Structure 1
C-alpha cells in the first residue's frame, strides 16, 4: 500500500485527528488559556512570516500601523505590546537582509544614516556607563532612544524606494490619525470606556482631568502624545493642500486640517501648538519665497499677540490652555525650570549622565528611589541630558541639527518634480516641528510620532534621489493637470 493510500484511509485519518486533539487538550490543560491562545495564533504567525519573507515592506507598514495604538493597549492588557514593534522591526530587518540586492546598500550612503549611526553607537556604549544602575532598564529604554530610529531610517530607504510608497505612507498615516481623532472626539463628547476610566482612576486623572475637563488622549499613550501627533498631521495636510493637487483634494486636505486642529485643541496639550507653528515657518523658508515667508511671520506674530496680549476666546477652555503656554510665569513651566536646575547640579560631575533608562518610567521601574527616577524630566532633551550627560546631549542635538541642515539642502536642490518636492517639504517640516516641540514633551521618542518622524527622514533622502532621476516638470503644467 502506498503512503498516499495509507494516509488517505479514514481509520488512519481518525487516529491522527485523535492524537492531535489529545495533544492540544494536554497543552491547554497544562498552560490554561495562554496555551490555547498560542495554538490558535500559531497558524497566523506562520502565514505572516511566509508573507513577510516574500514581501518585507509589509513588516515595516505593520510596525507603522501598530505604533499608533501599541502604547495605549496597556489600558486593556498587561501584555508587553510595546515589544511588538521591536518584533516587527527585527523580523523585517532579517527578511530584508536575507533577500535585498546588495547594490541597494549604496542608498545608505547619506548624511541621515551616518548621523543616526553615530548616535546609535554612543547609545550602545552607554551600557557600560559606570553610573548606570540597570542593564535591563538600558535594554527597554534604548529601543526608543536609538534602535527604532536607525532601523526605521535604514528599512525605509531599502524597502520603500518608490514614489508610490511615499503616497502610501502618507495615506496610512492620515487614515490612522483620523481614526485616532474620531476616537478622541468620542471620548470628549460621549465619555471614556470602562478600561480608560480605570486607567484614569489609577492616577492618570492627575494630568488628564484639569478643572473638571478631560484632556483627550484617544488610544495613544497620553494626551501629550495625542496632541503633538494631531498637530503633526495637521501641519502635513495643510502643506499638502498648498501643492499641485486637484481642487477636490485641496478641499479634502483643508477639511482634514480643520478636524486635526480641533483634535489638537481638545488634547489640552499646550506644547502641541508649537508643532504646526514651527513647522509652517520651516515650510515657508523651504519655498524660497521670502515675501510669503515675511507674510507668514506676520501671521504667526499676530496669532502670538492675540494669545499673549488679548482676551480673545477667553470663554473657550481650549483657547485658555493654549494661552497659558505663552505665560512665562505659568506654575507648570516654573516647576520644569526648577527641575532643570536640580539636574544641572546633579549632572555637573557626570558628563555621560546616569545611564540610558535611569530616568522616567524605566527608572521608576528598575531603580526606584534614585534622584533621576524620582525627578520628572518632562522634556525629551532633558531626558537625554539626564541619561547621557552633556556629552550625549551635544551628540544628540548635533545629529538632529545635521538632519535639519541636510534636509534643507536636499529640498533646496529638488527642482524637477514640484509635487514630489511638496510632499518632501510636508514630511520634513513635520519632523522639524516634532523635534522643536519635544522640548516640552518626549514625543519624538514615543510611538507613533517617533516612527513617523524617522520614516519621514528616510523618505526625504529618497525623494531627493527620485527628483534627480525625474525629467523637469513645470509647476504650471502640473497645475493645469490638477485642475
Structure 2
C-alpha cells in the first residue's frame, strides 16, 4: 500500500509538470514577463527543494547558479531580481543544513578562539553598529549592505559543514576550477566570435551597467559573470592555484591530468587578457611569490619560476606591438601611468581630510553609485573609491579597515599553517595554492572592492571555509 501511494504521488507530480507546459507556453505568448516569472518560480522551487534535501549539493548549486545569473539576466533582456533568487537558494540550503544538523566535524572548530572568526565577529558587530552612525541617514542602504554581508556569513557556515574531509576539499577545488574553466572558455568564445546578439542587445538597453566595459583598446569581456573585473580577479586566483598544482610529481598528478590543467591554464590566461583587468595581471607574480618562497628547495618549483619569468619577460619586452591585449598588460607593469591611474591617485589625496575627521566612517553604502542611490546628497555619494580598503575606511572607519586586513592576514596565515601540517603532496600544494591565491586577492583589494563584490566574495568566503575547516580536520 505504501508503494502504491508513492507511485500515485509520482504520477501526480509528472502529470502536474505536463499540464504546466502548455500553461507556461500560453502565458509566455501573451505576456513574456509572466511566463518567464512562472517558469522561474517552478524551476527555482524544484532547485530549492533539492537544496533542502541535500545541503552539500545545494552549496555547489548556489555557487554555480549565482555565477550564471548575470547571463540569465542578459538572456531575458530585462533586469531581474537576482538577489531574491540568491537569498532563496541560500536559505533553502541553510534549512537543509539545519534539518540534517550539519556534520559532527564542525564541533572541532574553535568558534570562540579562531582568529579569522574573531575578526569576522567584530566586523559584523561593526556593520550592525553602523545603523547608529550619525553621518548616515539611510536605513535602506544599511539594510541592503547587511543583506549582502549576511549571505557571505551563511555561506561560510554552510561551507564549514560541507568540508568534512580532505576528499571534500578536493571535490571543491575540482568544482571551482571547472567553473573557472567554463567561464574562461566562454570569454574566449566572446573574443573569437564576438558577443552574442542577446548580449549586444542587453548592453544597448542598459549602457549604464557597462560603463567600465568599453575602453580604448576594445571591449573588456565578462563571460557569463557580472563584470570584467570580477572575472579577471577570479581567473588570476585560479591560474595561481593551477600553476602550483602543475609542480606536483607524476605520482600525485598524472600526465593526462597535467595536460588538462595546462589547457585550462591556457584558457584562463587568454581570458584574463581579454578581460583587460590590470589588477589580475599584477596579482599573478605577487601571489606566486608566496608559493616560490615556501618551496625554493624543490626542483620543480625552480623550473616553474624560471618558466613563469621567461613567459612574463616575453610578454613585457617581446616584439609584440599591435596586440591591444598585450599593450594593456604592459601598462600594468611598465611605461607611463595612464590618466585613469592618475585620477585615482588624485581622488585618494582629495578624500583624506574626510577620513581624518570621520573615524567611524560615513556609513555603509555611501560611496560611489550606491551612495547616489541610497544616500543622495551625502558627502561621499558619487565618490569612486576604486579601492576596497579605501571604501572600508570611508564607510566604516579605521577599525573596519583593520578588521578586513586582519581577515586577509589570518586567512593566508592559516593556509600556510595547513601547508606545513599537510601529510600528502596534493594537500600541501592545495594549501599553499590557497595561501597564494588569498594573498593575491588581498592585493587586488587595493584596486578593486574584492571583499564585497558578489562573485569574488563567494570565492573568498569559500576559501575561508576551506582554510578554517582543514585546520581542524586532522586534529
TM-score (norm 2): 0.83
**Among candidates 157, 167, 181, match of residue 160 of structure 2:** 157
Classify the secondary structure of the residue corresponding to 1:70. helix
| RMSD over aligned Cα atoms | 3.4
Classify the secondary structure of the residue corresponding to 1:371. coil
Classify the secondary structure of the residue corresponding to 2:188. helix
Report 1:85-100 matches (<5 A).
Answer: 85-100=86-101
**Equivalent residues of 1:224, 1:267 under 8 A apart:** yes
Pick which of 135-144 and 348-357 moved more. 135-144
Instruction: Name the residue aligned to 1:80.
Output: 81
Instruction: Name the residue aligned to 2:457.
Output: 450
Report 1:403-442 matches (<5 A).
Answer: 403-414=411-422, 416-442=423-449
Distance 1:342 1:133, change over 3 A: farther
Pick which of 49-58 and 260-269 moved more. 49-58
Please report how far the alpha carbon of residue 54 of structure 1 lies from its aligned counterpart in structure 2 after TM superposition: 2.5
Instruction: Name the residue aligned to 1:115.
Output: 119
- 2 CA distance for matches of 1:42 and 1:406? 41
Q: Does 2:360 align with 1:352?
A: yes
Instruction: Name the residue aligned to 1:480.
Output: none
Classify the secondary structure of the residue corresponding to 2:212. helix
Instruction: Name the residue aligned to 2:241.
Output: 236
Q: Rg bigger for which structure?
A: 1
Pick which of 179-188 and 38-47 moved more. 38-47
**Equivalent residues of 2:392, 2:401 under 8 A apart:** yes
Report 1:52-451 matches (<5 A).
Answer: 52-75=51-74, 76-100=77-101, 103-109=104-110, 110-144=114-148, 146-201=149-204, 202-203=207-208, 207-211=212-216, 213-243=218-248, 244-287=252-295, 289=297, 310=317, 312-326=319-333, 327=335, 329-414=337-422, 416-451=423-458
**Equivalent residues of 1:237, 1:257 under 8 A apart:** yes
**Equivalent residues of 1:200, 1:208 under 8 A apart:** no
Pick which of 293-302 and 182-191 moved more. 293-302
Count of residues paired in the alignment: 445
Unaligned runs of 5+ in 1: 470-483
Please report how far the alpha carbon of residue 179 of structure 1 lies from its aligned counterpart in structure 2 after TM superposition: 2.1
Please report how far the alpha carbon of residue 276 of structure 1 lies from its aligned counterpart in structure 2 after TM superposition: 2.0
- 2 CA distance for matches of 1:50 and 1:269? 38
Unaligned runs of 5+ in 2: none
Classify the secondary structure of the residue corresponding to 2:347. helix
**Equivalent residues of 1:208, 1:214 under 8 A apart:** yes
- 2 CA distance for matches of 1:60 and 1:267? 28
Distance 1:37 1:371, change over 3 A: same
- 2 CA distance for matches of 1:395 and 1:98? 33
Please report how far the alpha carbon of residue 406 of structure 1 lies from its aligned counterpart in structure 2 after TM superposition: 2.7
Please report how far the alpha carbon of residue 456 of structure 1 lies from its aligned counterpart in structure 2 after TM superposition: 1.6
Report 1:12-91 matches (<5 A).
Answer: 44-75=43-74, 76-91=77-92
Please report how far the alpha carbon of residue 33 of structure 1 lies from its aligned counterpart in structure 2 after TM superposition: 6.2
TM-score (norm 1): 0.81
- 2 CA distance for matches of 1:35 and 1:434? 41
Please report how far the alpha carbon of residue 209 of structure 1 lies from its aligned counterpart in structure 2 after TM superposition: 2.6
Distance 1:300 1:128, change over 3 A: farther
- 2 CA distance for matches of 1:166 and 1:148? 21
Distance 1:199 1:444, change over 3 A: farther
Distance 1:264 1:35, change over 3 A: closer
Distance 1:454 1:63, change over 3 A: same
Classify the secondary structure of the residue corresponding to 2:120. helix
